[in-house]
Amino acid sequence: MAMTTLPETLVASLQMLRRRAYTALELTNHCLERIQSVNPDLNAFLSVSDDYARQRAAAVDTLYETFPEALGPLAGIPISIKDLIDTSFSKTTYGSQIYRDFQPQANATVVNRLEQAQAVIVGKTHLHEFAYGITNENPHFGPARNPVDRERMTGGSSGGSAASVKAALVLASIGTDTGGSIRIPASLTGIVGYKPTHGLVPVDGVLPLAQTLDHVGPLTRTVRDAALVTDVLTGAHGTSQSLFAALDQAAHTPLCIGIPQGLIDRFGTAPVKRHFASILGFLQEKGLVIHQEEIRFDENEVATHQGNIQGAEAFAVHQARLQAHRHLYGADVLERLETSGQVSAQEYIQSLTFRTVFQRVIEQWFVNLDVILLPTTPVTAPKLGTEYIDIAEGTTHIRPLMTRFTNPWNLSGVPAISIPAGTIDGLPFGLQLVGGMGRDAQLLRIAEQVERCLAERNE
């Protein structure tokens, strides 16, 4: 069968594969041909494993014909991997000139789990250098471009992953998120990006940015797709802990929601604030939201302590590498690491203490709340090269601004997901939903309910 378009969702594609509407090899070839055609302009992939992917797909097809009972939960599904995650079959650059030709000896645990699930990994995606940035403008590999408007940013640092899903080059991608690096590009490109509860997905074999803040998670087209991929990453598929199975449990409505209105008012651009207000009004009109209350915290304090922890841990990762290869770092990442090296041990310990207190505050919020809602980013996708953004307080640098709505949930470790929620002047708007610690199943159920409700709004 000659494929002309990729199925709308990963779950739909699995159903078609099982019906043998097309083979895994046909699906993989379609994706590889799309990558060959589109990637020179998009720059979503840093490397493509054509032969390896075709071999994997052919092996899946053999199983379909001879032993279908042995098929894994992602059998035949083309997936991309952020190039921060080790793969033994393909070089892993970490977005760095230093590692341009580095070949890991072993796969990251999440890669092994994807392969055990018989996913077809087609390549490694573009990222901000060492995942330490939010624009994906990489001095060594050029910028990743947004499929919605190729003069605009994907956001980062999992920007290539987001672009590969949005442009229908793959059905899912695996990214990392330390301050928003899955959710920000998901928002700017108009897809789903999910950061599970900290520690739910293993990070061994993933180059750390800041170990106590790092998360691994999926970028997909739908919440349901994200749940299925996460089950594979956690090893929960087919168990009582399955997030995918939990989606079919009884709906939890209407919702009591928390809104960090002060944070939104202070850092959101006017179009984003208006659009968010209209989304809230629609959800209330549809009866999905019955009660909302404002949640308050000191935004500057949260940003400072998250920055201290991230900076101190990132500098510890890079200190020896900086001494040996300082000249091979890009200017923006070098500057951030030099600043990070100034965080004292006392400041780091104080920030760890603050995190514990903040986690308790959030736990108290969720005594009465089902979910927290806010925009994922303060602005829609900026043009490539943008350094400063105008907000109510004045002009601010893009780097700290873009993580204002995402980094509180990295600091605390609670689960958060960005889902598409319409457009502003043709550019995607991401709605972020935040759950209580360990309440990933509840969060994804709510996210799918909101996703379905918003589909009516966008019709």
Distances (CA, A) of 147 to 39, 141, 155, 231, 375: 10, 18, 12, 28, 21
Q: Which residues pair with 174 in a beta bridge?
A: 81, 218
Q: Tokens 């000191």 sit at which residue?
A: 298
Q: Return d(Cα 139, Cα 438) in angstroms, integer.
A: 38
Domain 10-246 belongs in CATH node 2.30.110.10: no
CA 379/CA 296 separation, integer angstroms? 21
280 pLDDT more than 70:
yes
For 377, the token pair is 């980013």
Assess whether 181 carries a catalytic annotation: yes
Band (pLDDT 50/70/90 cuts) for residue 333 is very high
Q: Is 278 a catalytic residue?
A: no
| Cα separation, 152 vs 150, whole angstroms | 5
User: What is the C-alpha to C-alpha distance for residues 409 and 230, in angstroms, rounded to an integer?
Assistant: 18
**CA 162 to CA 176: how far, in whole Å?**
11
- At 250, the pLDDT band (50, 70, 90 cuts) reads confident
Which pLDDT value is given to residue 98? 98
- β-bridge pairing 255-259 and 289-294: parallel
What pLDDT, in 10s, does the model give residues 179-200? 999 999 999 999 999 999 999 9
Catalytic residue status for 82: yes
Which of 13, 90, 157, 161 is the catalytic position?
157
Whole-number Å distance between alpha carbons of 127 and 181: 9
DSSP string, 364-413: HHHHH-SEEEEESSSSS-PBTT--EEEETTEEEEHHHHHTTTTHHHHHH-
The confidence score (pLDDT) of residue 251 equals 73
96, 181, 187, 418: the catalytic one is 181
Choice among 13, 49, 80, 82 that is catalytic: 82
Give the pLDDT score at 2: 63
Residue 459 has pLDDT above 90, yes or no: no
How far is the CA of 404 from the CAs of 153, 156, 212, in angstroms? 18, 14, 18
The verdict on pTM exceeding 0.95 is: yes
Q: Which segments within 25-160 are labelled E, that is strand?
A: 45-48, 78-82, 120-125, 137-138, 142-143, 145-146, 149-153
Q: Number of H helices and number of E strands within the chain? A: 16, 17
Residue 252: per-residue pLDDT: 72
DSSP conformation letters of 97-113? STTTT---SS--HHHHH
Mean pLDDT of the chain: 97
Distance between CA atoms of residues 74 and 81, nearest Å: 15
CA 114/CA 77 separation, integer angstroms: 10
Please give the full DSSP string across 234-299, using - where no structure is assigned.
HT-TTSTT-HHHHTTSPP--SEEEEE-HHHHHHHS-HHHHHHHHHHHHHHHHTTSEEEEEE----H
Domain ranges (residues) in the chain: 10-246, 255-301+342-416+433-458
How confident is the model over 340-396, as pLDDT tens digits? 999 999 999 999 999 999 999 999 999 999 999 999 999 999 999 999 999 998 999
- Mean local confidence (pLDDT), 270-276: 98
